[in-house]
Chains A and B, each alone.
Chain A
Amino acid sequence: MRKIRTYNEVAHETGSRILEQVLEQRGRLESRLSSIRAIVAVVSGKGGVGKSAITANLAAALATRGARVGALDADLNGPSLGRMLGVAGIALVDREDGVEPAAGVAGVRVMSMDLLQEDDAPLRWRGPDGDGFVWRGVAEAGVLREFLSDVAWRDLDYLLVDVPPGTDRISRLLDLVPQPHQTLLVTTPAEISRFVVAKSARMLRDAGVEGVGIVANMTAYMDPAAGTKPLFTADGALALARETGLELLAEVPFDPELGASTDRGRPFVLERPDSPAAHALETLADRIERGKGGRLSP
């Protein structure tokens, strides 16, 4: 059989310049992120645990302390962060050096697919009919890359990235930002949540991601009439912390008003700062400030 040189044995560039373009994209991403003090990934793997509400409230809490905060909604298919931070319908200013993000409550700079689409429009892609599974994930990764690199985030203390459910979505972020300064693993006390989020914890551990902590959401029900009641019978968040050795950073009780105010684009930490849920979120903001890359980190 004749010997044909392998791909790696052929060093000569073909002139198609694909590699150069990919490297240029990488360079642009690194350059953009270099002006951000700390990237904080808010992940779970599980849907419905309150990642976006935690992200919105945390962003507002940090911003009201004087931090320069950006919030990136990485949930392209079900964006909600923009509305929670009060920027629905705001136009993005189109500049040569990047797209200016929308200014939300407390001056949080926000980027979300919600800002780019009609309200009832699902995320759909131009492209050939059929076989979308082959390229759709690549396109989504490309859009996330552009949200990071082509938005004029400018100098930030914190960029919070709200990552949608699914461990694959966490991987997608890590492909672009291999080592976020801090990663919040959001779960609830429910056993099924522990089961799913444990997979994300393992994935983060296997990827060598440092600075991971657990946020237990909906740990109790704040009944306006009857006071605090348990919402779940299990203690999945504590069990997850024990199993993984990860620190439990905060326990945020469920307050019906938290959802309502966040839906109105007014984060709960601003609307009801004296509530137990807001106190828990402020505790979480403290931990971020003192964590890796934080303004108060040692």
Chain B
Amino acid sequence: MKFLCIPCDEVMGFAERQLPGDGTMAAVFTCPGCGHEMAMLTNPMETQLVSSLGVRVGGRTVPEQPMELTRMAVTDGREHAFAEPAAGNATSTADHGVAGPDAGTAPARVTWDDEARERLSRVPSFVRGMVKRIYADWAKDNGIAVITTELMDRARSELGLEGM
């Protein structure tokens, strides 16, 4: 889907996405020629159709997680369907903050304070591992060693984790 500014004959570029929480979506596009803005508004069914493709309008703020669509789309997910890797056998940074090649200033280990841990425990287990990894990776990228609820709110806002 492309939007063409007819007076300028220019393709409008994506500028912003908003998900108000009622199943609808607003995607704002801007003409690079005249600066005119327009919003594409989708109804819940149209929004669902796009998300069922496993894509995000405007691009992703975090890499697509393994089985993200399945976890986000399927209801009645079994409690404990997913288990975390055994300690010492993790390839995820979620528990251990394993330093990657870009982890020059990253903390060696990301931990969670009690409140953050409690909030995380309320996330359904079907998606908890995925959500935990996203927060932990964000913390590592930002040089944060201890995740608090305030930092979780900041991460949600920065990453645009609507629906997570």
Contacts and interface: CB of A to CB of B under 8 A. Distances in A.
A134 B54 CA distance: 15
Interface in B41-63: 43-45, 48-49, 52-60
A59 B93 CA distance: 34
B60 A146 contact: no
A12 B59 contact: no
A142 B55 CA distance: 10
B78 A95 contact: no
Nearest to B84: A94
Contact of B13 (A15, A18, A91, A100): A15
B74 interface: yes
Contact of A126 (B13, B60, B74, B93): B74
Interface stretch (B4-12, B102-110, B112-120): B4-12
Tell me which of A28, A131, A139, A145 has the highest count of chain B C-beta atoms within 10 A of its own C-beta.
A139
Sorted nearest first, the 5 A-B pairs with minimum C-beta distance are: A128-B44, A17-B59, A121-B76, A15-B14, A91-B83
A89 to B, nearest CB: 8
Contacts of B130: 94
A20 B72 CA distance: 21
B149 interface: no
A10 B5 CA distance: 11
B27 interface: yes
A47 interface: no
A126 B55 contact: no
Interface of B: 1-4, 6, 9-15, 23, 27, 29, 43-45, 48-49, 52-60, 64, 66-70, 72-78, 80-85, 90-94, 126, 129-130, 133
Contact of A115 (B9, B49, B81, B90): B81
A135 B13 contact: no
A234 B77 CA distance: 44
B12 to A, nearest CB: 7
Contacts of B48: 127-128, 135
Given A24-B64, A135-B52, A93 B74 contact: no
- In which size bucket is the chain A interface? 35 or more
A18 B40 CA distance: 15
A117 B79 CA distance: 8
Contacts of A136: 52
Interface in A88-119: 91-100, 113, 115-118
A139 B72 CA distance: 11
Contacts of B2: 7, 10, 12, 14
Contact of A134 (B45, B53, B75): B45
Contacts of A125: 73-75
A97 B29 CA distance: 34
Given A5-B4, A92-B81, 6 more contacts: A14-B14, A18-B53, A25-B54, A127-B73, A143-B69, A150-B67
A95 B69 contact: no
Interface string A122-158: 1111111011001110110011011100110000000
Nearest to A129: B44
A16 B44 contact: no
Nearest to A131: B45
B78 A118 contact: yes
Interface in A8-54: 10, 12-18, 20-22, 24-25, 28
B73 A126 contact: yes
B161 to A, nearest CB: 16
A4 interface: yes
Tell me which of A10, A14, A124, A143 has the highest count of chain B C-beta atoms within 10 A of its own C-beta.
A14
A122 B45 CA distance: 21
A12 B48 CA distance: 26
Tell me which of B6, B43, B49, B68 has the highest count of chain A C-beta atoms within 10 A of its own C-beta.
B49
B83 A142 contact: no
Interface string A258-292: 00000000000000000000000000000000000
A95 B92 contact: yes
A10 B11 contact: yes
A41 B23 CA distance: 37
